[in-house]
Amino acid sequence: MATSTQLAVGAASSAGPARYILDGSEQDLQRLERVATLAAEPLVRALREIGIADGWKALDCGCGPLGGLAVLAEMVGPTGRAVGLDFSEPAVRRARERVAALGLDNVGVVTGDIHDAGAAALGGPFDVAYARCFLTHQNDPSSTLTRIAALVRPGGWIIAHEPLPAPAPLSHPPLAALAACWEILQQATRQAGVPAGAIAGLPVSARAAGLELVSTEGYFNPLPPDVGFELHASTLEAASASVRSAGIATTDEIGELVRTLRAARHDRYDWVSTPFLLHLTLRKPPGLPAHARA
């Protein structure tokens, strides 16, 4: 039976930060589990590039219902430890269920906010921290990276896979509804308090946090049409309440986009992509001490 940390760190709430635009519903948790599968191979490649080894400690920042925990657990081996941290109690409960079902005895899942968490309370300091589509929900990425760095050992690593606002996701042949959906999501994120240009500016934010920028890359992940269009449609559905409350689009407009995206699953499309993800490999300088709190 897998073990899962039951510790709650900080004042986490199932409501989460107001800047988080997705609804955290059962349907959205299922969507995030699908995303975890799609994101596995890029994470494996990134971890191999930094030389991850058996016995390492790894942290998944904003793990959701699974995130990178299965990959991290395999890469650190039975003598290592992977810890997932998320503010959403429903997501953490689901992650614990998935960890137990997969028999991941070297994984713990913790409820809490990265800005309040201390390394010792989480079982750190960590050799590597992973963030995927996490910094895109932060209103001060430099401050968040500083907090993540405080949880990593001197000489440790941070891997970030974060979506750039542009270019928008693509398909072949092109579908206008795909770009319209992405623009709505970007507007909702900005109105929730995430600064425009926050993701494009992550290299600058990383240096401001005292981190070394080891490499900057980026990638689209091409998907089969039935998978990719459903992913975008379900993401818009999960953000629909935020989109409506911000006055960005009406219920009818959202519904029409969702129907168009889902109909495209069965049309003559060759592929559809994820957003373009910025891939940053960061390192905490060996001389920079680990602190329980920044």
Residue 170: CB atoms within 10 Å: 19
Domain layout of the chain by residue ranges: 1-164+199-221+275-294, 165-194+222-273
Report yes or no on whether pTM surpasses 0.75.
yes
The larger pLDDT score, comparing residue 36 to residue 13, is at 36
Asked if residues 125 and 156 have their Cβ atoms less than 8 Å apart, the reply is: yes
Q: Exposed, middle or buried by CB within 10 Å (0-12, 13-18, 19+), for 103? A: exposed
pLDDT of residue 287: 75
Interval 124-180: pLDDT, tens: 999 999 999 999 999 999 999 999 999 999 999 999 999 999 999 999 999 999 999
19 pLDDT tier (thresholds 50, 70, 90) = low
pLDDT higher than threshold 90 for residue 39: yes
Residue 271: CB atoms within 10 Å: 14
Return the closest-CA partner of residue 14 out of 117, 110, 91, 96.
91
Interval 82-140: pLDDT, tens: 999 999 999 999 999 999 999 999 999 999 999 999 999 999 999 999 999 999 999 99
Interval 201-225: pLDDT, tens: 999 999 999 999 999 999 999 999 9
| Beta bridge mates, 128 | 58, 157
Q: Domain spanning 1-164+199-221+275-294: which CATH class is it, in words?
A: alpha beta
